[in-house]
Chains A and B, each alone.
Chain A
């Protein structure tokens, strides 16, 4: 029976799913590594262990780490594998739209297991591999994407401004309303093109697709590419001076008026209701 080295992360469902597939390959030796993530050093440690196959979950970390391992061992690497039969592996490509059958002839075989394609196995004993710091790049600190604020993708409320806002300074009123609602600030493509806001704030098909409960679109005409990013919102409130603006076709609530008056009025009302 062959030996399978499985890299697991603590308390990780995906690692247990990977274990299910790994157990089909042979005797599994599960290892984990403690300390700051250091891809090159971790990969060196895994590469040094004797094994017929090296397996990890097809997470961002698992895929990165085993890519390093494969490069070190100069072996082919199959990522996001769903099934394996001898040397034939089935793997997911194209963001899940394509299943590819490939032959994996490496020794050891290096592969990751596609998430949510296997049931999770019962956890087995895991040994901790000691990895000395070899001076290669390592993760020093992890900072969440929108430091201090609410991330656009996950925000429950998004208040967005478009061309109608007029300038980067005028985003004050948008920021104020977003703050009062505990939401994030978004914007349309025109605004990032004009340099009023960073691209990370852009809602749209080429920016962030949001999933808020409420989307407030201020002075946004509603190009299809913008709507494509906003359609995940449960309710859309549009404020625009132009009654013909395409945004109204997608909006649940419409205010035809100047955002420079309407938005501060909403903020004032919110303060009043909250008594602050």
Chain B
């Protein structure tokens, strides 16, 4: 009877939730089964992402592992209640006792964190719900221990009643993640993490999707993301926009979308579940995605909401309009003449690829910033000189290199992005390019991860990767130096594309590296990503926060590997008046060879 009521309540809700997910737009079929299995083992069973924070991680792991071990006790209790009796193996009884205690320890720790430490990441989360769930968990194991050690069918009954209550309540609460997290992890990206799913404009009208305006435009994964959120706030804690007082909280964004899904509201998401400003605050740095223990992919939500605002409503921050117009008309975000794109390379004698020329070993993809921006140009000049010195066969496209479309795409303007994707892929393919070295991590991400969807498949390296290879091979022999250098990881390099070792390898040779607290995969954005290079920032500026962090290391030099980071952090350093020189890794390497 108990099982029927609890099971019925659970099943009814589960059916409703499944219907909501199935109503979502289908995602691409997941391939990569071995990698997905690995994610399940690491992220779900191994609790890898939770354990990024040791104490809360262990707290959760104890409860999670405890539940797996304790699961069979439900059957044993049920048999007991039914009048039968099974004596489990002695080792299993001991194991259940140990894990029951670990779960209790986990619950106590959780209450300590929530009631005493009260970390800021819980701001805006449903705290009462968490208390109720933790209490239920405690009661589950307490009744189990009493049943084991005091004995009597009464405690077995109590154990089952608590479990039934838990089961009935579970799918109505944020604790639903027990059922959905594993599925969500399975469906998450396995590789090419910086890639955005392209919109298809070649399908019949009724299947065409312009991002997400209402919950009925969400993909299944996006709906499931909402169901998987436990409101733990790790994303909020990692978010550079939130940290500098912007409206955006990735946690509240996902919660807002989820609440609207539950309400089955056909109102626009932006302006209802999600404040308009918050979708424009995002720098697409991916810190939230990296931090999320259940593999929620926040950037997809934000870009989908932007796509709808930009392509359907034509509503976006006004100051970004000139950039979008310039990308569209001038093929670079500053509206500079394309004929000047190779001007920086003239005095260096860099080969500019003409149609019909034989392909070089490496095409050097300079990018708009390093082609046109006075400060970023230095990195292109250094890289070219280093490649020449090492005898690498390379060439640039010059005026035929166009913006990759990245800033337009991240702003939500998929039309413009796809036009450039097709144009650049056709130029690269006609030239027979197979290997590309890129100076800009945003270009690199697009070339390596996104052009594949448009028929462009290349081996793409960042200049720090190629330079490290040349140093390894002895083709470049830098002199050891003593300057102390702190390295700022670019989000699109370190997080979206896993390039963290090579730039450090180079800096290790030419100076004395000191790390900032937030480095590697946990790097803190410079503030320029997601087209923010061309938007105004309110309140505390992200680049100033980061410049202060770099200055606090006491280093003389702040090394960067991205033209946007160069400009943003150089501005930040000037603003704070810190005694720091901002320079690209390639420039520092070139200087060590002089």
Contacts and interface: CB of A to CB of B under 8 A. Distances in A.
Contacts of B541: 193
A205 B415 contact: no
A228 B369 CA distance: 13
B208 to A, nearest CB: 14
Contacts of B323: 205-206
Nearest to A98: B415
B329 interface: yes
Interface in A99-125: none
A56 interface: no
A228 B326 contact: yes
A6 interface: no
A207 B321 CA distance: 11
Main secondary structure of the interface of B (DSSP, over half): helix
A243 interface: no
B567 A190 contact: no
B581 interface: no
B535 interface: yes
A222 B374 contact: yes
B335 interface: yes
Contact of B334 (A98, A205, A207): A205
A111 to B, nearest CB: 18
Contact of A205 (B322, B372, B575): B322
B375 interface: yes
B346 interface: no
Nearest to B374: A246
Contacts of A222: 374
Contact of B374 (A193, A207, A224): A224
B319 interface: yes
Interface string B303-329: 000000000001000011111011011
Contact of A206 (B314, B328, B535, B571): B535
A235 interface: no
A163 B335 contact: no
Nearest to B373: A224
B574 interface: yes
B319 A206 contact: yes
Given A190-B575, A206-B319, A228-B335, A246 B375 contact: yes
Contacts of A47: none
Contacts of A193: 537, 541, 575
Nearest to A248: B374
A224 B564 CA distance: 11
B536 interface: yes
B373 A206 contact: no
Contact of A224 (B322, B334, B575): B334
Q: Could you say which of A190, A207, A223, A224 has the most chain B C-beta atoms within 10 Å of its C-beta? A: A224
Contact of B534 (A93, A190, A199, A206): A206
Interface residues of A, number: 24
Contacts of B329: 97
A221 B374 CA distance: 10
A231 B326 CA distance: 13
A95 interface: yes
Contacts of B335: 205, 228, 231
A99 to B, nearest CB: 13
A200 interface: no
Nearest to B563: A224
A249 B319 contact: no
A225 interface: yes
Given A95-B325, A193-B541, A206-B319, A221 B534 contact: no
Interface residues on B, range: 20 to 34
Contacts of B374: 222, 224, 246, 249
Given A221-B574, A224-B373, A246-B375, A199 B536 contact: yes
A224 B534 contact: no
A209 B325 CA distance: 13
Contacts of A223: 373, 375, 567, 571
A229 B326 CA distance: 12
Contacts of B571: 190, 223
B106 to A, nearest CB: 46
Interface string B497-527: 0000000000000000000000000000000
A95 B325 CA distance: 8
A227 interface: yes
Interface in A173-219: 189-190, 193, 199, 205-207, 209
A228 B322 contact: yes
Contacts of A205: 319, 322-323, 326, 334-335, 534
Given A95-B325, A97-B329, A190-B575, A224 B567 contact: yes
A40 to B, nearest CB: 22
A117 to B, nearest CB: 19
Contacts of A227: 334
Q: Could you say which of A94, A98, A231 has the most chain B C-beta atoms within 10 Å of its C-beta? A: A94
A206 B536 contact: yes
Nearest to A202: B536
Interface string A222-242: 111101100100000000000
B334 A97 contact: no
A63 B325 CA distance: 22
Contacts of B322: 205-206, 209, 228
Interface string B461-475: 000000000000000
A210 to B, nearest CB: 13
Given A163-B574, A190-B571, A225 B534 contact: yes
A224 B567 CA distance: 9
Nearest to B536: A206
B334 A228 contact: yes
B330 to A, nearest CB: 10
Q: Could you say which of A95, A98, A222, A228 has the most chain B C-beta atoms within 10 Å of its C-beta? A: A228
Interface string B555-594: 0000000000001000100110000000000000000000
A221 B571 CA distance: 10
B279 to A, nearest CB: 18
Contacts of A206: 319-320, 322-323, 534-536
A222 B567 CA distance: 11
Nearest to A229: B322
B547 to A, nearest CB: 13
Q: Could you say which of A205, A207, A221 has the most chain B C-beta atoms within 10 Å of its C-beta? A: A205
A109 B322 CA distance: 33
A59 to B, nearest CB: 18
B535 A225 contact: no
A163 B319 CA distance: 21
A5 B481 CA distance: 79
Contacts of B574: 163, 190, 221
A207 B322 CA distance: 9
A224 B332 CA distance: 12
Nearest to A163: B574
A223 B375 CA distance: 8
A228 B325 CA distance: 12
24 contacts: A94-B415, A95-B325, A97-B325, A98-B415, A190-B574, A193-B537, A193-B575, A205-B322, A205-B323, A205-B326, A205-B334, A206-B323, A206-B534, A206-B535, A221-B574, A222-B374, A223-B571, A224-B372, A224-B373, A224-B374, A225-B533, A231-B335, A246-B373, A249-B374
Given A193-B537, A224-B374, 14 more contacts: A95-B321, A163-B575, A189-B536, A190-B571, A193-B575, A205-B326, A206-B536, A209-B322, A221-B574, A222-B374, A224-B334, A224-B567, A225-B533, A227-B334
